[in-house]
């Protein structure tokens, strides 16, 4: 996380049974950052979607790769990075959400990314030497203080 170690780092195999551990630590960190239970669940959902995408799209379902989640509280924001060393995101491949087509064509693609974008204040993708990074930021509630790690 550019210049500074993130507070919490979790590294798990690229298998959906580890999404629960990702969810747990995300909720804990969200609560330490001052988010309430419902907000913590939403944040965990966004991270779940990002990690699921790594498993399904970056690794194409391969079970022996690694997913890394980095969580940090920086001043007034919670920052989450989901990192993989698989295939990067091709921005052109990301479908636009078209609700009308969902119903008529049973299209479901694009929902995950859309949810991530709606839950977080920002979602950005970048490639680094250490892998592909999906960085998601959410402003902390005003009252929130606590874990400045």
Partner 1 sequence: MTELSVDRRELEGIVLLYPRGFINAHTVRLFEGEIQKALDEGRYRIVVSGAGLKYIASAGLGAIMGVVEEIRTNGGDIRLADLNETVRNIFDILGFNHLYRIFPSEIEAILSFREGGETGSPPA
Ligand X SMILES: Nc1ncnc2c1ncn2[C@@H]1O[C@H](COP(=O)(O)OP(=O)(O)O)[C@@H](O)[C@H]1O
Give the number of other Cβ atoms within 10 Å of residue 78's Cβ: 27
Residue ranges in contact with a second copy by CB under 8 A: 5, 7-13, 15, 17-18, 20-21, 24-25, 28-29, 32, 66, 146-147, 149
Question: Residue 64: which of 90, 44, 50, 85 has the closest Cα?
Answer: 85
Of residues 104 and 108, the one with the C-beta less far from ligand X: 108
Characterize 53-73 residue by residue with b for buried, 16 or more Cβ atoms within 10 angstroms of its Cβ, and e for exposed: bbbebbbeeeeebebbbbbbb
Quote the CA–CA distance of 72 and 97 in Å, as a whole number.
30
Q: Which stretch binds partner 1 (CB under 8 A): 37-45, 72-80, 84-92, 135-143?
A: 37-45
User: Which one among 25, 74, 114, 147 touches partner 1, defined by CB under 8 A?
Assistant: 114
Scanning the structure block, which residue is given the tokens 């913590």? 40
Scanning the structure block, which residue is given the tokens 């990690």? 51
Two structure tokens written together for 136: 């998601």
Site string for partner 1, 59-98 (x = CB under 8 A): --------------------------------------x-
9 binds, among partner 1, ligand X, a second copy, none (CB under 5 to 8 A by kind): a second copy
54 binds, among partner 1, a second copy, ligand X, none (CB under 5 to 8 A by kind): ligand X
Q: Closest separation between CB of residue 47 and ligand X, Å?
A: 12
């Amino acid at each position: 996380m550019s210049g500074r170690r993130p507070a919490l780092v979790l590294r798990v195999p690229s298998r959906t049974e580890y999404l629960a551990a990702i969810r747990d630590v995300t909720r804990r960190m969200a609560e330490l950052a001052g988010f309430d239970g419902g907000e913590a669940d939403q944040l965990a959902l966004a991270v779940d979607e990002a990690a699921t995408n790594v498993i399904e799209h970056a690794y194409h379902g391969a079970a022996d790769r690694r997913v890394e989640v980095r969580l940090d509280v920086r001043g007034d924001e919670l920052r989450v990075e989901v990192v993989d060393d698989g295939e990067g995101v091709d921005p052109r491949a990301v479908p636009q959400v078209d609700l009308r087509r969902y119903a008529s064509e049973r299209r479901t693609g694009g929902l995950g990314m859309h949810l991530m974008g709606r839950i977080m204040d920002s979602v950005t993708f970048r490639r680094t030497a250490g892998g592909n990074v999906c960085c998601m930021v959410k402003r902390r509630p005003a009252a929130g203080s606590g874990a400045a790690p």
